[in-house]
Structures are given as structure tokens and as C-alpha cells.
Chain A
Amino acid sequence: MAEPRDEKAEVRSGWPLYEVFLRGKRGLNHVHVGSLHAADAQMALHHARDLYTRRNEGVSIWVVAARDITASSPDEKDPFFAPSGDKVYRHPTFYDIPEDVPHM
């Protein structure tokens, strides 16, 4: 039985990683909840349903192959993010909003 076992080990390591995003009933946007292994996107969707919506958390699932995500590098943390750290005035909260402007 050594042969099939080896074969299985090979297949297992071949399943790529998918990132899972859920939208809850009252959530407006999909939020990253974790990752899983699956042979393809359809199976990833099934796995996501089975792993991440067991407690009635979601009404919509997105899965994305982890290899398709382009991420910022931790090495670039300072040049990327530090410059905005002292510029609170970029939030539009320093203006007096007239009474008759809706949806603000």
C-alpha cells in the first residue's frame, strides 16, 4: 500500500491556498476571514461554506486564489504608511456641515 499513500501525499501538497471573504447579513462589505486549501475555486467555495459559515455568519462568500493577490511588503511599511500617520486633516471632519446637506 506504499504507492497510493505516496501518491496521496503528492496530491495534498498540490492543493493551492485560497483566501476567504465573507459578507454578513448586516455587513456592507466582504471581510477577510481566513484561508483554506482546495483543488479549484468551486471546491474552495464549498470549503469556505463548510468552514466559515457554520454559525450563520455569512450571506455571501468570495474566494480568491492566494497566488493572485498582490500584497504590500512588510519591508515597505514605513515608506508606504508612515507618511499618512500625522495627517489627520485628511479626514473631512473639520468642516461645519450645513443642516440641509443630507447623507453626511
Chain B
Amino acid sequence: MATRIPLLICLIFGVIMFLQYFSVHPLAKAAYSNILDWWQIIFAFTLLVGAAGFMKNSLKSISFRKETPYKTIALLGLVMMPILALAGGTRIGSPFLWVFENIQAPMQATVFSLLAFFVASASFRGFRARTVPAAILLVAAVIVLIGRVPITELLSSTFPKVTFWIQNYPSMAARRAILIGIGLGSMTTALRVILGIERTYLRGE
């Protein structure tokens, strides 16, 4: 029962959502719209579950005196946002948005910008033309880096033209092949999931 019911539900909803694509019957449209709504609502609950899980693990760590200050700060942050939203709303000028704009967003952007330094370090230490394929990769990267800055356009219009040609033809051809492969693979996986052959989503409770 623990496996059969979910597999049956997956089959039913998968078949409905696949078949509705080919039908304009009002019943099919109604089923489609309702399932889209249910999907949206259930998905929202997954965040609540995730947040509850995070709180549970953080409190457990605090009780075991493991990384207590950091877990406490994280929990305070988690609790602070809903309190601010309840107290002051979420519109422009609210404390909720103020915290997002002046604390969360700048930190998020800065964490991501750290990658620039590591990319520079990797460019020096790891980017070697050891083999022919590696040399091709390196040359393509350098052409893009040179061709996409304004100063090289001033020196010669050839640089951006070569960059665009590489981007729009050989690079695009490889990406297209990857996309086709992914498309075919996704379709077969979707069919396997609907038919109950692929059951990995049933694990991990």
C-alpha cells in the first residue's frame, strides 16, 4: 500500500496531464486547471516542511552544543522575517523589505562575487593546454574573453565577429546536441516515472 498508492496516483495524474495536451474538451481543461492549482499549493507546503526540518536540526545542534552561536543566529534570522512581515507588512518602506534590501540581498550578492576571485585563481593554476582538446577549450575561452570587451571593438571589428561566429555556430551546435540528448532522456524518464518503472522519488523519507 505504501508503494502502490503513490505509484497509482503518479500514473493517474501523469496520464491526465499528458492527454489534456491533445484535448480542448471543457472537462479536460477543468481537470488541467485544477491539477495545476493543486500542484502549486502542494509545492508551497514543501518549503514549510523544509523550514521545519531546518529548525528541528538547528535546535538539535544547539541542544548538543554544536556550533551553538551560528545555529542561534540562523534561527533568529529565520524567525525575524515572519515577525517583521506580520508587524509591518511587505510593501515598499516596510521593515521586512528593508532587511531584505540592506542585509540579505547585499550578502547574497557578495557571496556570489567571491567566485570571481576563485575563477581568477583557477585560471592561473588549472587552465593548462595539456592536450589538444584542452588547448581548443583554452583558445575558445580566450577568444570570448577578448571579443566581449569594448576596447577590442575599437582595435578591430574582427574580434567581436569571430566571437559571435564561435558562439552562434560551433559552440551552439554542441549545445544543441546536448539539448536534444537531454530532451530525449527527459521524455523517456518522464514515461518511466508515469509507468512506475522509475521509483527513485519514493525513497528518502
Bound together: no
Where the two chains meet, the residues of A that have a C-beta atom closer than 8 Å to any C-beta of B are: none
Where the two chains meet, the residues of B that have a C-beta atom closer than 8 Å to any C-beta of A are: none
